[in-house]
Each structure stands twice: as structure tokens, then as C-alpha cells.
Amino acid sequence: MTMPSEAPKEAFRLSQLIYDTRYRSMTIQIFAMVALMLMLSWLISNTIQNLQALGKDFDFGFLSQPAGYDINQRLVEYSSQSTHGRAALVGILNTILVAFMGCALATVVGVFVGVLRLSKNWIVSRLMAVYVEGFRNVPLLLWIIAIFAVMSESMPQPRAFREGGGASMLFGESVAVTNRGVYIPAPVWGAGSSILIAVFVLSIIAIIAFRRYAAKRQEATGDILPVFWISVGLFFIPSVLFYFILGRPVSLEYPELGGFNFGGGIHLRNSLIALWLALSLYTGAFIAEIVRAGILAVSKGQTEAAFALGLRPNRTMSLIILPQALRVIIPPLISQYLNLTKNSSLAIAVGYMDVRSTLGGITINQTGRELEGMLLLGLFYLLLSLFISWVMNIYNNSKKLKER
């Protein structure tokens, strides 16, 4: 009886690296990696040679040198005698502040306008269309300058708030809108304020936990709890009770007119307000179209089925349409958040001192460390963008369709 013999193994040949599909992809990746490393090494070598020719070195010691310039809007203590590193920190915090405020307001505006664009009321839908087309088809820089000009030229001067001057403060003499900015009350933290803050944070955690419980209960039993009113109660009642129990540990410092300007309170400069509103309204127009597209992506049969079950339009939108539309909305929404964050670098046009103006502007001009400054500036925007993407991707994964 003869046994079948195994086919002889083919000897490896160098030509297989190109013509054999088992090895071709690896060969291409290796060559691409080698080419990339060679290009990077050439760029680094060329940069070092050019720096040496100019008599420069690569050093970040300039961050510990005195800055020598003032920053008009800041969240932490800073003076002209602070270091360039401190100035960069102030600019970073200013950038994060306007990016956070812009993303929050742009989301509210975008969702509101996106839903209204689908309204059956012809006037409402057309007005929203005018807003969307008007803002997204005009360069952002023009909107920033236009809003800044309106704030600076149209608002009253501080002296107009004197008796008989023709201008008055808003919200019970607590907010002043002037051509130099907006003055709002500032919190004054007294003894026991840390406990009050802790109670407020716990209230937020309780709201999140309750909403998750209500959602799981609704999926399991179909019972709908009064989530909105209970959330409002958890948000206000514990904090208000502890506010009085602790003896009112937090008070407000109101802005007051003294001399030629207001003193006290928090001064929001026109540059910050113009940049915030322009970024929010401009990005909100794009978000509105994303929301509208997400809602239209949901089959009309879903709405008809909800109406057949007796659900009201607002319940249909919140329980059926929007949860399904979020799966379409969130991915492009992440890109809009990233665009808003990077577009905040246009703040230099109106004098808002963000990281582009401090680290990427005045610091580079004073120290001559343009390479180091731009590398740090690019690294900051990269890390901030990656953080935003990471947070939003976590939220996106939570909204994905879960298969049984």
C-alpha cells in the first residue's frame, strides 16, 4: 500500500516579497516606515544645521524668564513680572475657557435651530434657514470683528450709567453692559463654602444616577418617571437648604460705578464676548444642519408608529427620534467641536489673549524662540483636540445601538 507523499515545500525567494500576496503588504509597510524615518531624520538634521548657522540652539529655558507684558483677561494670578511659562498658562486657560463656553452655547443653539428648521410653521423654518445660511457662508473672522464693533461702538459708556445719563443696569442693578465690556456679580466665598460646593457636586451626581435609573426602568417596565421635575428638585433643593443651614457662606460682590469706570464684580471684556458669540453662532449654524440631517435620517415610520400609540409630539421627539438621531449626529458633531476649538486662535484679531497671542505671539517675538514656541503651541492644540475626541467618543459609544 502506497502512502501519499507530501508536496515539497517551495524555497523562499526574494521575489516573493513583491509578487507574493502573503508578503507584499508587509514589504510595502516596511519601505514606507523606512522612508518616513529617513524624511524625519533629514528634517531634524536640516533644522539643527540651520539653527547652528544662525547661532541658535534648541532650548526651552525661555519659559522661566520674566515675560514683561500684561494680559488683560486672566483666570489665575499674573503680572508683568511673571514668567513666560506663567503667561503661556494664562493663555491656555483663556483658550480652554472660550472653547468650553463656545461648545456649550453652540450645542444649545444648534439643537434648537436644527429642530425649528423642520417646523411646519413656514415663517419659523424660513427664519432659521436665513440664520443658518447667513452665518455659515460668511467667514468667521468677519463675524468676530462685526460683533466686537457692535459691542464697542453701540453700547453706552460707563459714565452714561450715572444718574440722568440715560443708561441703567440690568437684573436688579447687578449687570452693566458697556462699551468696555460686561460687568457681572462676582461670588465671594466665605466659611463653609467648600461644604456647599460639595453638596452641589453630589446633587449633580445624584441627578445623573437618577436619570440612568429612570432610563433603565423605562426600558424594563415602560413606566416613565417625572425625570425633569425630580432633576430640578435635586439641583436646587439640597443646595438652597445647605445655603441657609450654613449661614449663607456665599455672597455676591456687585459691580459699582466709581470714577470713570465700574469696579468690583467680574469684568467680561468685549474681546471675550465677541469671540464667544461669534464662535457659538457660527458653529451653531453647522450643528443645526447636522441635527436636521440626523432627524431626517430617522424613518418617518417611527414617528407614525409613535403617534399611533398616542404619544405626543414632544414625547416622540425626546424618546424616539432624538435617541436614534444621536447615532448620526455625534460623529460630525465631534468635528465641529474640534473646529471651534482651533478657530479660537482667531482671538488675536480682537485682542483676546489666548495661547496663540501669548505663547505663539508675544513670547516668540520677545525671546526669538519661534521653533520651540510653535512646537509647544502645536502640542497644546493636539492634546486638547485628542482630549475632546476621547471624551466625545466615550459618549458616542454609549449611544451606539446595542445588539441583543
Find where cell 459691580 sits.
Answer: 255
Predicted local distance difference test score (pLDDT) of residue 297: 87
* Contacting residues for 185 by C-beta, under 8 A, at least 6 apart: 174, 175, 252, 253, 254, 255, 265, 266
Nearest partner of 385 among 57, 97, 99, 44, judged by Cα: 99
In three-state secondary structure terms, 1 is coil
Among residues 261, 278, 78, the alpha carbon closest in space to that of 183 is found at 261
Beta strands in 108-172 (DSSP E): none
Q: How does DSSP classify residue 362?
A: I
Measured at the alpha carbon of residue 169, what is the angle toward residues 163 and 170, in degrees to the nearest 5?
Answer: 150
Query: What's the CA gap between 389 and 385, in Å, rounded?
Result: 6
> How far is residue 282's CA from residue 143's CA, in Å, rounded to a whole number?
8
Task: Round to whole Å and give the CA distance between 249 and 162.
Answer: 32
Report the pLDDT value the prediction gives residue 6, as an integer from 0 to 100.
Answer: 59
pTM higher than the cut 0.85: no
Residue with cell 526574494: 14
- The pLDDT score that the predictor gives to residue 53 is 80
What's the residue count for the chain?
A: 404
Which pLDDT score, from 0 to 100, does residue 333 have? 92
Cell of 285: 449654524
CB 253 within 8 A of CB 265: yes
Average pLDDT for runs of 10 along the chain of length 404 = 57 68 78 90 83 77 87 85 90 93 94 89 92 92 92 85 76 83 87 89 92 85 82 90 88 82 85 93 94 88 82 79 86 93 91 89 87 89 93 84 57
List, in order of start, the domains of the chain with CATH numbers.
84-185+254-398 (1.10.3720.10)
Q: What backbone torsions phi and psi does residue 37 show, to the nearest 5 degrees?
A: -65, -40
pLDDT for the residue 139: 93
pLDDT at position 90 is: 92
Q: Which three cell numbers stand for residue 248?
A: 449663607
